[in-house]
Amino acid sequence: MNAPFFKFGYFNDDISLVVAFVIGIGFGFFLERAGFGGARKLAAQFYLNDLTVFKVMFTAIVTAMVGVFYLSVLGVVDLTLVYVSPTYLVPQTVGGFVLGIGFVIGGYCPGTSCVAVSTGKLDGMVYLLGILAGIFIFGEAFDLVEEFYWSTDLGTLTIPQLLNLPYGLVVFAVVLMALGGFMAAEWAEKKFGPRGIWRSKP
């Protein structure tokens, strides 16, 4: 069995859209299960009252990272055929910072706003319209930022390549970091929260 299945031609483009829909259902399901259909749960992360966002995100990253690494070691998945988004360091960092500002002001990110809409949150719907407006503005103003957009092109670059370390060692280090982060998160929740709207005021 060779994976990724799609890259080995086990099914065509039309079937891939069905796969996309099914994978999307799983994605949306677990986002909602985690509580990410509500802006207050998401925003709480940035007031240290409830670190669910951090815990869910890093558990997911570690699960997928370890999974795909072991499957590649076992020869099931050809890791070189899994698409890694190329690095444009400065625009990505600036974009991430801007996105973080939008996250805490609006209370959602694009994926979670979909779940908010499908569970009836009107603010999620307005937020989604905002995203569309933002993309429209970006597209119309693209000429102004195009040079910056393509700057600091480092190509497809992974942390193991950057540090010249074995892939497995970096995986192991990220797992340790995540475990440390989870312990810190549990400690922070004990110390800071829940409070405010996340708990009735004392």
Site for other proteins in 5-34 (CB under 8 A): 5-7, 16-34
What distances in angstroms separate CA 81 from CA 3, 116, 162, one per listed residue? 9, 33, 19
The yes or no reply on residue 179 touching other proteins (CB under 8 A) is no
Q: Determine the Cα–Cα distance for residues 173 and 182; give it in Å rounded to an integer.
A: 14
Which helix (DSSP H) or strand (DSSP E) does residue 43 occupy?
helix 39-44
The yes or no reply on residue 74 touching other proteins (CB under 8 A) is no
Q: Which listed residue (137, 144, 169, 179) binds other proteins by CB under 8 A?
A: 137
Closer to other proteins by Cβ: residue 27 or 184:
27
φ/ψ of residue 3, rounded to 5: -125, 155
Give residues 43-72 in contact with other proteins (rule: CB under 8 A): 43-47, 50, 52, 55-65, 67-68, 71
Instruction: Name the minimum Å distance from CB 73 to other proteins.
Output: 14
Q: Which listed residue (73, 75, 82, 176) binds other proteins by CB under 8 A?
A: 82
Q: Provide CB contacts within 8 A for 152, sequence distance 6+.
A: 87, 88, 89, 90, 91
